[in-house]
Amino acid sequence: MTNPIGPRDSRTILMPGRRSSGVGRVQVPKRVRLPLAWPLTLVAAAAIVALAAQVAVKLPFSPVPFTLQGLAVLLVGGLFGSAVGAGALVLYLTLGAFGVPVFAPIGPAGMARLFGPTGGYLLAFPVAAALVGRMAERGRFTRCFLASLTGMGLIYLGGWAQLAILTGSALKAVAVGIVPFVVQDLLKVVLATVILWRGHHALRLRA
């Protein structure tokens, strides 16, 4: 009888049998590869950051609003991995630059956002996600903490650099773009650390 699975959808393994060689051959189906898994994962990861961006609070003493984007970037990079994290954030920035409402609802839309006071933070997102994904891939608590702290530091560095250019003062950029957010972003780092650590631990148990 013809094998209904077919040679391309199966693999042959050796099993004990009654033949003279002592083994028999059994066809075992291979795992089905989903060609849409990669792009769907990118879209899902970008959507997480877009949703986090909608939680935005305008601050009277800074041109930079409070949002949950930084936390989402750390989680996307740490949970989805370096390549997916960076790719998802590039997709996120591309959609936002073309006017798709994925950025925080405070500030200019489209490409102008990337050249505004929050543009430096946004442009640092792909690099931060890639680094967090690389550093936290083993799922150890210390590694997850260092990854989250370093990723947040990269986001700060990008934001500070662009604010320094726009304001003409490195000290003013620190005053309006870093100091007001240090405490809450440290809390985000701790939260991201716990989620990444527990997430990797749960995945190892399932594996």
CATH code reported for the domain at 37-206 = 1.10.1760.20
- In the chain, which residues fall in CATH 1.10.1760.20? 37-206
* Calpha distance 80→82 (Å, rounded): 7
Rounded to an integer, the average pLDDT of 98-104 is 95
More confident residue, 17 or 53: 53
* Calpha distance 39→23 (Å, rounded): 43
> Each residue of 105-125: pLDDT tens digit?
998 999 999 999 999 999 999
> Each residue of 132-148: pLDDT tens digit?
999 998 889 999 999 99
pLDDT more than 70, % of the chain: 80
Task: Extract the tokens encoding 91.
Answer: 């997709």
| Burial zone of 148 (CB within 10 Å; 0-12 exposed, 13-18 middle, 19+ buried) | buried
Own/partner long-range contacts of 114-118 (Cβ < 8 Å, ≥24 apart): 116/63, 116/166, 117/63, 117/64, 117/162, 117/163, 117/166, 117/177, 118/63, 118/64, 118/65, 118/159
- Whole-structure pTM over 0.95, yes or no? no
User: Which residues pair with residue 24 across a beta bridge?
Assistant: 15
Inform me whether the pLDDT recorded for 29 exceeds 60.
no
Which of 4-18, 71-85, 112-126 bottoms out in mean pLDDT, i.e. has the lowest? 4-18
- Is the Cβ–Cβ distance between 86 and 129 less than 8 Å? yes
